[in-house]
Amino acid sequence: MLDKLKEQPLYQDLNWRLILIGLASSVGSMGFGYDNGWWGGALGLLQFKKKYGAYDAASGSWAMPSEKTSVGTGTGSAGIILGCIIAPIVTTKFGRKAGFMCLSALMLLGVILEATAITSYWQLVVGRIVVYAGIGLASNVVPTYLSECAPPRVRGAFLGLYSFFNSLGVFIASVTVYGCQHRTDKWQYLIVILVQLFVPLVYLIALPFLPESPRYLVYRGRYEEAEKVMRVLFNHPENITTEIQLLKLQIEEQRELHKATTLLDCFKGANRRRTIAAMGVQILQQAQGVSFIQNFIITFMQQLGFPNAFETNVLVTGCSFAVHFVTFITFDKLGRRNSLLLGSLGMAATMMGTGGATTTASVSNLSMPVKNACAAMLILWYCIYGFTWGPGCWIVTGEVGTGQLRERTIFLASVGSFLTSIPINFVNPYVQKAIGGDVTFIYGSFSVVAIVFIFFCLPETNRRSLEELDEMFQSDVPTRKFKHHVCTGLGAQITQLEDHENEHGLDGPADKAMVSEREMA
């Protein structure tokens, strides 16, 4: 059994340094998940409703007006778009580490604004915008950094850390809100807000120990620095010099034959296909209902008449977090396309099943078995999302962009995601109030659209180096032939070298001869 474990790519390719930078750099996504989670939970807290809501004489209870819920939830997405705009400017010019520093500063400022919003709801909203600007930056710099540091055979598991920490943040938020629901003082919601300080503090502590992305250093012509970083990160440093030479040749080839530097270049030639794939998975992730689940699950449960919506929310988010451990294996075993196809099938079935259950009676008169069935299907939806689309969209987004445009491709994909979430966050409170459980039919139908998109537009990128993917996109390989296509260029040589390093620990003379022949040619 131990011998089989040693044969696994995760065992052969990872080391404690890679694990450390993967965990530390992914903390920003935990802030994203936590902020979504605490906001959705705070909307159901009594003290929060008393502080910022209004008394509803008809129901005899305090409630948040739909317009405040809509604005407070939707404007966070505006902050994310601001962060996405800042991201490629900072990370391209100053590096990936500068991006971590910038997002830490934004989140720290935003949390202070939120925590000091004693009476002003609009100051709270401004604080959320600033926090979400940092989150928007994180949604760009974290996948970029992870994809450029990870060995090809385990890049799916490495990029899966983004979604793993996002789910962890949502779970921590649900537990925090659940623990604070019985408090009656002002600390009920202040505790929930202040927990967010964990993210910028971790970055400020970890930043001196995080190396710059080696591929970023190569792209900037800083080859000696890149070699030093790669010798620290990778398990077989004896072949690093050869790999740097191959990367240098590949970048020179790209700049000579496929020069691309502007946002407009993302929509030209082979890059258009990459941009469609990256934006498509991000837009469809939102359209299938993750914003609904993260932001409105508690109010949805309360609308259905659950006796303890907070407890159910902890169960939903906890199950989703637990299944994320599976993604460290599945995406590199099953591949990207199969994982996302299976995910959309399951998510369509569970969302539509929830809608079908709630149509058996009016929302206020649902029987307890029906309520339990709805809860079970929503838990199952979030579990399926947790080991398919949750990490999958970020894995694909981090992989498909070319090295010259990776920051800009991720920027466009992130903006597409959050532009999709804005109308959902603004409109869902009104639609949910009007049609109740039938709102889930809308999200389920987008899962059907996602199945069609994946089948025709999303190529398999598993176990390919980033440079090998460049070659296949530029050769216009058909979508469904990516998996079995045989590459012969520099990208293939980089993949072979990295695989040989990890599988056999070669000394590299044959590979060096290969590079020399290429230089002579």
> What is residue 80's predicted lDDT score, i.e. its pLDDT?
83
pLDDT-derived band at 457, boundaries 50, 70, 90: very high
- Please report, in angstroms and rounded to a whole number, the separation of the first and last CA atoms in the chain: 47
For residue 149, the one-letter residue type is C
Q: How confident is the model at residue 362 (pLDDT cuts 50, 70, 90)?
A: low
Closest C-alpha to 107, from 208, 205, 199: 199
Alpha-helical segments (H) within 207-265:
214-219, 223-233, 240-257
> Biggest alpha carbon distance in the chain?
83
Instruction: Kindly tell me if the per-residue pLDDT of 279 is higher than 90.
Output: yes
- pLDDT interval class at 361 (50, 70, 90): low
Nearest-angstrom CA–CA distance, 84 and 397: 14
User: According to the model, what pLDDT value does residue 187 have?
Assistant: 67
> b vs e for 222-250, b when ≥16 Cβ sit within 10 Å of the residue's Cβ?
bbebbbbbbeebbebeebbbbbbbbbbbb
Neighbours of 2 (CB within 10 A): 6
> CA quadruple 121, 126, 130, 133: dihedral positive or negative?
positive
67 and 383 Cβ atoms separated by less than 8 Å: no
CA distance 364 to 304: 6
Distance separating alpha carbons of residues 281 and 469, to the nearest angstrom: 18
Q: Which element (helix H / strand E) includes 54?
A: strand 54-56
Q: Is the pLDDT of residue 500 over 80?
A: no
The CA angle 342-343-345, to the nearest 5 degrees, is 65
Q: For 27-69, what is each residue's pLDDT tens digit?
A: 988 888 888 777 777 777 777 788 787 877 777 778 777 777 7
Cα separations in angstroms, 64 against 43, 103, 147: 7, 30, 41
Alpha-helical regions (H) of 401-438:
406-435
Residue 164 has pLDDT above 60, yes or no: yes
Cβ–Cβ contacts within 10 Å for residue 7, how many? Answer: 9
Report which of 34, 318, 73 is spatially closest to residue 199, judged by C-alpha positions: 34
- pLDDT > 60? residue 517: no
Contact between 141 and 203 under an 8 Å Cβ cutoff? The reply is no
Helix, strand or coil for residue 53?
Answer: coil
453: left (phi over 0), alpha (psi -120 to 50) or beta: alpha
Closest to 156 measured CA to CA, from 8, 26, 282, 333: 333
pLDDT digits (tens, 9 = 90+) for 470-480: 889 988 999 88
pLDDT at residue number 284: 94
Q: Is the dihedral angle over the CA atoms 230, 234, 237, 241 positive or is it negative?
A: negative
**Quick one: tokens of 52?**
């910022």
Confidence band, pLDDT 50/70/90 cuts, at residue 339: very high
Task: List domains and CATH numbers for the chain.
Answer: 2-211+237-513 (1.20.1250.20)
Helical H segments across 262-308, by residue range: 269-287, 290-304
Q: At 121, which helix (H) or strand (E)?
A: helix 121-149
* Structure confidence by residue, pLDDT tens digits, 79-92: 888 898 899 889 98
CB 331 within 8 A of CB 156: yes
Phi and psi for 333 in degrees, rounded to 5?
A: -95, -55
For the chain, count helices (H), then strands (E). 26, 2
Give the distance from CA 391 to its chain's centroid: 6
Cα(336)–Cα(395) distance, integer angstroms: 8
Q: What is the pLDDT of residue 459?
A: 92
Place of tokens 């710099």: 141
Tokens for 449, please give them. Answer: 């659209």
For residue 186, name the pLDDT band (cuts at 50, 70, 90): low
pLDDT of residue 185: 63
Burial 55-74 (b: 16+ CB within 10 A, else e): eeeeeeebbbeeebbbbbbb
